[in-house]
Structure 1
Amino acid sequence: MKYLIYGIIAALFMMICVFTLQIGGKGVAAVLLPPSSAAAAVTSSDKIAYLTFDDGPSQSTSRILDILQKDGIKATFFVTGKTSDYSKQMLHRIVDEGHTLGNHTYSHDYKRIYASVGAFKADVDRLNRFLEETVGVRPNILRYPGGSNNHLSWRSGGRHIMSAITREMSSLGYQYFDWNVSSTDAAAVTQSKEAIVESVKSNSSGKKQIIVLMHDMDVKTTTVEALPEIISYLQHSGYHFDVLGKDSYTFQFLRPGKS
């Protein structure tokens, strides 16, 4: 009789566990289940890679866009004032395919843009007008040619020109982005594919959010060749991809208004 009672109690307990799972899975049995792979993926979702391409559009742009489209990845293009029919087509494609346009100045002429705060602002405004007329986009993000701490600007505007420019452009509502991962594709006219890939791998190590600097130029053919391998490596390292925006993570060599 004693064993019969124990058996009934055990059966009732099992029925209660099953019922608990059926009404929401919040019982003891549900808590004891091991975490799913999906839950584990969520814990690494804060690893974000922002792929950025400077100086386009160029003859490389269409190939870059093809690769990004194939992998379903969005990127940020810091463009300049190129007005050919092809360049306009590429600008339309960048926008139509869900990528983001950033301002990299109209002329990209260091001597001109870094001569004064007013000269820099005028060049940025000129590009924004062109982009608005061409694709209906007026960027509020920018990247300074050479980066926010470049020393080439000193030749035109003096030692403190970048401090003055960053202060002014930030006060006008622009957010600027430097980079914390360089592909080193600017270290040579045509850097080797292997060096580009290795640089991204080594410079991204240990970082949760990365802004990757690459260049969209006719001569940067190896950057295009390296891109699929870079994407694959970052994906396997747990990164997901996003575009830059005014409220995104940012990395700045020079804080606004600082020397």
Structure 2
Amino acid sequence: MFAGVSGKMKEKTLRLAAAVCLAVSAALLSICINQAIRLSGLEKTAAAETSKLEQAQSQIGELKKELAEKEKPGGNVPTAAARKFSYDAKKVQGSGPKIAYLTFDDGPTKNTPLLLSTLKSLNVRATFFVVGVNCQKFPDAVRQEASAGHAVGIHSWTHQYSYIYASMTDFMQDFNRLRNYVTQQLGREPDICRFPGGTNNTVSLRYGRDHIMRQVVRQVESMNIRPIDWNVSPEDAVERVPSSGTIVRRVIRQTGGQHRPVILLHDLSRSTNTVYAVPQIVRSLRAKGYSFGILTAETQAVMFEPS
């Protein structure tokens, strides 16, 4: 009889022990699951905080860049590709009515129709310094720009610095090829141009080991074509295109109290930020008393001191 009772007790004890083990295992599993969930949440939080930190660092970098630009004397900043080859520029300023000149380099592109539509809606005329290889891709663009009342000038056929600045001969071959093309499109010869990198660039020292810009300027002016540079540049053609808001702020800041700001913008294919900045630029400058005009050979505009 005692043996039977002892067996039942043992069975109950084993069942109880098994139940306790299961309960402990379940509790431990629950703790592990909760810990894993907590760690997962921490990882997500850490990832979110890292993203915020990266965004803040990017904004700080942009603000530092804008501050550095603000401290620069003047607004004659060559394009990014030519900046390290350029000397400080000399402003040539006028007086009288406040006229702003919107200029667009490097087009035409797929975004040119949107730009033309935007300018039309604002009743603003602008100046386009075109690139020949892009004109071939958009063969109607030059005529469309001219028929809308905009000015069309020569920029470069290839826009390849290593070629056009290798020698005076190479430069003029490239220049005349675009000159002939624009003449054919307009039915008249263009009377304005803008050299890639500006009149004061020193790129020829890198590729041709010689200063050619003074000679280039003399040759072009002998053809009754006026080289025109700029005194406002939001640097909208850099690798990381600035936002529309940044472009607007830079233009307004650099314009300052200048009577004849010549604003260097770009007709880019890889970004519409410049196009979307145009309406606010126009509204802001009009509020400051500016009207808008197109550049011609007779315009009192900006020309850097040739290098």
TM-score band w.r.t. shorter chain:
0.7 to 0.9
Q: What's the counterpart of residue 37 of structure 1?
A: none
Asked if 1:87 corresponds to 2:138, the answer is yes
CA displacement at 1:142 relative to structure 2 = 0.4
Asked if 1:68 corresponds to 2:119, the answer is yes
Asked if 1:187 corresponds to 2:238, the answer is yes
- Flag the 1:213–1:83 CA change in 2: closer, same or farther, 3 A: closer
Asked if 1:218 corresponds to 2:269, the answer is yes
Residue identity opposite 1:117 in structure 2: M
Q: What's the counterpart of residue 162 of structure 2?
A: 111
Residue identity opposite 1:254 in structure 2: E
**Deviations along 1:149-180, whole A, 9 cap, x unmatched?**
12333212235222221222223322111101
Q: What's the counterpart of residue 39 of structure 2?
A: none
What count of residue pairs does the alignment treat as equivalent? Answer: 213
**Deviations along 1:1-51, whole A, 9 cap, x unmatched?**
xxxxxxxxxxxxxxxxxxxxxxxxxxxxxxxxxxxxxxxxxxx97000010
Query: Normalising to structure 2: TM-score of the pair?
Result: 0.65
User: Does the 8 A contact of 1:56 with 1:216 survive in 2?
Assistant: yes
Asked if 1:249 corresponds to 2:300, the answer is yes
Q: What's the counterpart of residue 207 of structure 2?
A: 156
Query: 1:17-166 to 2 correspondence within 5 Å?
Result: 46-82=97-133, 87-166=138-217
CA displacement at 1:128 relative to structure 2 = 1.5
Q: What's the counterpart of residue 35 of structure 2?
A: none
Q: Percent identity?
A: 38
User: Does the 8 A contact of 1:106 with 1:124 survive in 2?
Assistant: yes
Specify the SS of the correspondent of 1:150. Answer: coil
Q: What's the counterpart of residue 230 of structure 1?
A: 281
CA displacement at 1:83 relative to structure 2 = 5.9
Residue identity opposite 1:123 in structure 2: D
User: Does the 8 A contact of 1:185 with 1:214 survive in 2?
Assistant: yes
Structure 2 residue ranges without an equivalent (≥5): 1-94
Give me the whole-angstrom Cα distance separating, in 2, the residues matched to 1:83 and 1:185.
Answer: 18
User: Does the 8 A contact of 1:116 with 1:157 survive in 2?
Assistant: yes
Q: What's the counterpart of residue 10 of structure 2?
A: none
- Flag the 1:230–1:150 CA change in 2: closer, same or farther, 3 A: same
**Deviations along 1:191-219, whole A, 9 cap, x unmatched?**
11121111101000111111000000101
- Flag the 1:225–1:59 CA change in 2: closer, same or farther, 3 A: same
Query: Normalising to structure 1: TM-score of the pair?
Result: 0.77
Runs of 4+ that moved beyond 4 A: 83-86
Structure 1 residue ranges without an equivalent (≥5): 1-43
